[in-house]
């Protein structure tokens, strides 16, 4: 299977509880040219966990797509990679290894960002996944965070170690594990990685991309081959369209109207319902709906109802009332 990263990469990040198939498809509609699934436990995959299968939901239009795996046992990771590589129902171009998640329940088990402090094991994990999946046509990437002063290697050194394992590309989030999601992303540290890693291996910069200008600045400051958008995409898939316009020198696209926001949200909810069932989709949609309404005035009464949504019909009625209230206010 041939695979080439888009140039430049304007990617949707793997975010637990957010980057599901429905949201990925919406973001692709507005310009996300690459995406990674929510992180999936290698052990859960091996035990054929039903929820894990839902996380693997994909479609032919959801491409190019990488599936993100987390785990720290090279044998387990290789077996999980082999399972994914042999499953013809999954539409993916490769696998991404999570070495960046700072959440205690992940890192305290030795997975995610805990691998930053164990470069030898990190390299073993990457190499085992490459050896298991590449013969089946899947490419492998790794997503890391910045190393801190207590780690045995600098981020650039770790990146070079990983680049020797046969991975196709690397994504770097510009925060350390202790930072979690606080503070600012360090573009200079990401730039050091880009300078250290061979040019044949693309590097994608991740962190603090909330506007199109943020994306352009991050590309300029780091010299990376693309940017990955995380929390900036919450309720704002139009951000990808804005990034493309700015990088192409085009006029900024018009901001979405409140009616457009509601329409896109309802399409996302409908798609999520097809994949997960209405009940689960509505529970998860509560925060998505609030994200879509962020920055809009006089939404408090609606938010109080949104957090109680149980059916798609309720969501559609609230959306109708929101649009109607705006129209009446404009009279």
Candidate list 27, 76, 92, 101, residue with the active-site label: 101
Residue 96 has pLDDT above 50, yes or no: yes
Q: CB atoms < 10 A from the CB of 286, how many?
A: 17
Domains of the chain (ranges, CATH numbers): 9-248 (3.20.20.70), 258-326 (1.10.1200)
pLDDT tens by residue, 25-43:
999 999 999 999 999 999 9
Residue 1 has pLDDT above 60, yes or no: no
Instruction: Give CA–CA dist 320/314, Å, rounded.
Output: 10
Whole-prediction pTM: 0.95
Instruction: Give CA–CA dist 85/139, Å, rounded.
Output: 10
Instruction: Give CA–CA dist 98/72, Å, rounded.
Output: 10
pLDDT tens by residue, 189-229:
999 999 999 999 999 999 999 999 999 999 999 999 999 99
Residue 122 has pLDDT above 80, yes or no: yes
Instruction: Provide the pLDDT confidence category of residue 51 given band limits of 50, 70 and 90.
Output: confident
C-alpha distances in angstroms, 143 versus 67, 92, 115? 12, 17, 11
Instruction: Respond yes or no: is residue 92 known to be catalytic.
Output: no
Handedness of CA 101, 92, 231, 303 (dihedral sign): negative
pLDDT of res. 50: 79
């Amino acid at each position: 299977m041939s695979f080439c990263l888009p140039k430049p990469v304007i990617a949707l990040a793997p975010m637990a509880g957010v980057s599901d198939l429905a949201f990925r498809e919406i973001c692709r509609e507005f310009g996300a040219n690459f995406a990674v699934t929510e992180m999936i436990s290698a052990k859960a995959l091996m035990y054929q966990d039903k929820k894990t299968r839902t996380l693997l939901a994909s479609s032919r239009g959801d491409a190019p797509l990488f599936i993100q795996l987390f785990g720290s046992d090279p044998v387990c990771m290789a077996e999980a990679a082999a399972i994914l590589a042999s499953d013809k129902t999954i539409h993916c171009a490769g696998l991404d290894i999570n070495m960046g998640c700072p959440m205690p329940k992940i890192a305290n088990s030795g997975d995610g960002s805990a691998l930053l402090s164990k470069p030898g094991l990190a390299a073993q994990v990457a190499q085992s996944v490459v050896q298991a999946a590449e013969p089946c046509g899947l490419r492998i990437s790794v997503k890391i965070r910045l190393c801190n002063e207590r780690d045995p290697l600098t981020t650039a050194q770790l990146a070079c170690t990983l680049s020797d394992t046969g991975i196709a590309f690397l994504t770097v989030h510009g925060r350390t594990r202790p930072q979690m999601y606080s503070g600012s992303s360090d573009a200079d540290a990401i730039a050091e990685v880009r300078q250290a890693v061979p040019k044949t291996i693309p590097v994608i910069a991740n962190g603090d991309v909330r506007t199109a200008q943020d994306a352009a600045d991050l590309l300029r400051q780091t010299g990376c081959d693309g940017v990955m958008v995380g929390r900036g995409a919450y309720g704002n898939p139009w951000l990808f369209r804005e990034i493309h316009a700015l990088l192409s020198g085009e006029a900024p696209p018009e901001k979405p109207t409140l009616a457009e926001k509601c329409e896109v949200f309802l399409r996302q909810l409908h798609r999520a319902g097809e994949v997960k069932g209405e009940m689960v989709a509505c529970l998860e949609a509560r925060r998505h709906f609030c994200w879509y309404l962020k920055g809009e005035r006089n939404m408090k009464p609606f938010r109080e109802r949104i957090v109680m949504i149980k059916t798609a019909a309720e969501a559609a009625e609230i959306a109708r009332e929101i649009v109607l209230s705006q129209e009446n206010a404009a009279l």
